[in-house]
Amino acid sequence: MRQAYSKKASGSLAAAKLLLEHELFAEAIALAYYAMYHKTTALFWSIGLRCKSHRKTTIILQQVFSIDPAPLEEAREQRISRQYYADITATAMDTASLIDTAVSYLATMDALMDSMNEEGRDACRKKAQLLADSG
């Protein structure tokens, strides 16, 4: 599953870049966010965790992996505001900036997944499961 979600992340990022080139900014922002979301899902699958709650995702990122969830949260807010509110428009600069953030975020996730050994994955799994199961 890690590979499948990593592939989805790469595809979403590639599509976001193409959409930026064609000045479809809101759509590019949505796919840049989904690239980040799918890579986070890949990270979670790499330790055997499935998490459906955005709130818990951010908690697990911060408390288990020591990753600042702010870029993912900001990308999500941009996606929501650009997709659901017609009066909030995206610019080329906003979109390019978010895509750059997504590129960095994906690289951080890849480096983390590549650096974890079985013992590290087990420790993260146990800690994450406690957080995921908590109210």
Which CATH number goes with the domain that contains 64?
1.20.120.330
pTM, two decimal places: 0.92
The residue segments making up the domain with residue 95 are 2-133
Phi and psi, residue 79, nearest 5°? -60, -50
| Range of weakest confidence among 31-40, 104-113, 125-134 | 125-134
Total number of domains constituting the chain: 1
Chain segment 33-91, per-residue pLDDT in tens: 999 999 999 999 999 998 778 888 899 999 999 999 999 999 999 999 998 988 888 99
To 5 degrees, how large is the angle CA 66–CA 15–CA 74?
35
Q: Write the pLDDT tens digit of every residue in 24-42.
A: 999 999 999 999 999 999 9
By mean pLDDT, which of 47-51, 91-95, 122-126 is the weakest?
A: 47-51
Integer Cα distance of 88 and 22 in angstroms: 19
